[in-house]
Structures are given as structure tokens and as C-alpha cells.
Amino acid sequence: MAYPVISGNEVFSHACFGASDLAASTAFYDAALAPLGVKSMGPFGETVVLYGKDKPAFPVLKPGNGEAPSGNGVTLGFAARSPAEVDAFHAAGLAADGTCEGEPGARGHLPRAYAVYLRDPAGNKVCSYTFI
């Protein structure tokens, strides 16, 4: 598979989350990210699953040191094109064993922001935002 060349406009090459139970976490991300157009790009070895739109940008992996993942204070945000996509991300994530950390709706701290927060099965905090 050929991936687009990094253009120099990107801030990050990728962001990743650890998962104690890779199967449970990938089931969550397969479901929650689908409404946003982000898909599994398949496994990378036995301990990593790659996600992205046109290139791998979000690996979910078993931590290399074998310890439980710890992301206290870390949130990874996924862009949505509409409030409907944010709502679909939330519903799909809850159906795939995620837990709600903030219902979908307007966010007073950012003008025009509409967002939702979830925790994945490993306890990582994720959100989806759009601006209306």
C-alpha cells in the first residue's frame, strides 16, 4: 500500500494509545472511528493495529514494556464534519464498550464547538469535535 508523502503542514506524524486488551480496544476503535471516516489499516505485527484515513496516523498497541497503559491527563481528539458524526462516534463507542465522559453537545470554552468525550476499554480518553 502506498501512502501520501508528508507535506510539511502536519503537526504530528502520528499519535498512539496503549491497550492492555488489544482485541477489546480495536473493536472499540473500529466502531467509534467508522462514522468519522477513519478505518483500520490492519495489523502491524502481532501487537499493533493501525488506523487512518489515507495513511496510518493512529496506532493502537500493546505497550512494549508490558505494563498497563497510563494516559492520565491525555486526551486524543478526532475531527468530525458535523454534529451528526460526533453523535455517531459517541453511540458507536458506547456500543463497543466505551464509557461516556461527557455527553454530546456544545462546549462553552470554545466558540461554536460541539463535542463528546469517551473512555476506551483501556481507559484512554478520546473525544470528537466539530465546529458549527
| Per-residue pLDDT reduced to its tens digit, 38-89 | 999 999 988 999 999 988 999 999 887 888 777 767 889 999 999 999 999 9
Domain total for the chain? 1
Is 84 a domain residue?
yes
Q: Residues with Cβ < 8 Å from 62, sequence gap 6 or more?
A: 18, 19, 20, 22, 47, 48
Query: Taking 90 as the threshold, does the pLDDT of residue 4 lie above it?
Result: no
Residue 17 half-sphere exposure toward CB, CA atoms < 13 A: 26
Is 12 a domain residue?
no
Assign residue 33 the CATH number of its domain: 3.10.180.10
pTM for this one? 0.84
Is 116 a domain residue?
yes
CA gap 77, 53 in Å, rounded: 15
| Per-residue pLDDT reduced to its tens digit, 105-131 | 998 888 899 999 999 999 999 999 999
Domain that holds residue 116: 17-62+74-131
pLDDT score, position 73 = 72
